[in-house]
Amino acid sequence: MSEHREPFLYVVVCAAGIADGVSELISEAHAEGWQVGVIATPNALALMDQDAIEAQTGYPIRSGWRAPGAPKPLPPADAIAVAPATFNTVNKWAAGIADTLALGILCEAYGLGIPMAVQPYVNSALAAHPAYVESLARLRSMGVLISECVPHKPNSIVGRETYKWTDVLALLRPMKQSM
């Protein structure tokens, strides 16, 4: 663990229609003893109440790269939860593409040995694409923990009520014991 008293969790938020529900995950993470900083993809920013999330975490939302020499807005991550994870980010991450800050952090975290857990929110049409199936298999082979997730119907946000925001915390709990 870093020098901070409580372990620090990065929550990576991607541009799925349910992104504004991430406050539920943040609340539960706080209750479990994590400090939380949010990393949003650029597309996700418009889908979230940024002020409310920054007030809840006490840290700025990160989405773009900082200027060289600028202070680091967040402490280093002890673990990373990706929720909701989009089709786009899952595939790019597995392919080693780092064209958003979120992807750069995720790609680098593998080499740094940071524990990571993912809860996708992807519709059944996209989930049928062979690249997605292969991407999940590749992430699993990298040690990424992937929560059970039933794809929702295309063109709907059905599943919003049943999306399990906090499963990622359960997956990370065994690692948290030793932080």
Ligand X SMILES: Cc1cc2nc3c(=O)[nH]c(=O)nc-3n(C[C@H](O)[C@H](O)[C@H](O)COP(=O)(O)O)c2cc1C
Q: Which residues bind ligand X (CB under 6 A)?
A: 14-17, 41, 43-44, 86-89, 100, 121-122, 126
Residue among 23 and 43 whose Cβ is closer to ligand X:
43
Residue among 31 and 133 whose Cβ is closer to ligand X:
133
Q: How many CA atoms lie within 13 A of 152 on its CB side?
A: 19
Residue among 86 and 147 whose Cβ is closer to ligand X:
86
Shortest gap between Cβ of 39 and ligand X (angstroms)?
11
Burial class from Cβ neighbours inside 10 Å (0-12, 13-18, 19+) for residue 90 reads buried
Shortest gap between Cβ of 176 and ligand X (angstroms)?
26
DSSP alpha helices (H): ranges in the chain? 22-31, 42-45, 50-57, 87-95, 101-112, 124-127, 130-141, 167-176
Shortest gap between Cβ of 47 and ligand X (angstroms)?
7
Burial class from Cβ neighbours inside 10 Å (0-12, 13-18, 19+) for residue 107 reads middle
Measured at the alpha carbon of residue 118, what is the angle toward residues 116 and 123, in degrees to the nearest 5? 160
Question: Under DSSP, is residue 146 helix (H, G, I), strand (E, B) or coil?
Answer: strand
Shortest gap between Cβ of 157 and ligand X (angstroms)?
7
Shortest gap between Cβ of 42 and ligand X (angstroms)?
7
Residue among 41 and 166 whose Cβ is closer to ligand X:
41
Measured at the alpha carbon of residue 70, what is the angle toward residues 64 and 72, in degrees to the nearest 5? 70
Residue among 35 and 89 whose Cβ is closer to ligand X:
89
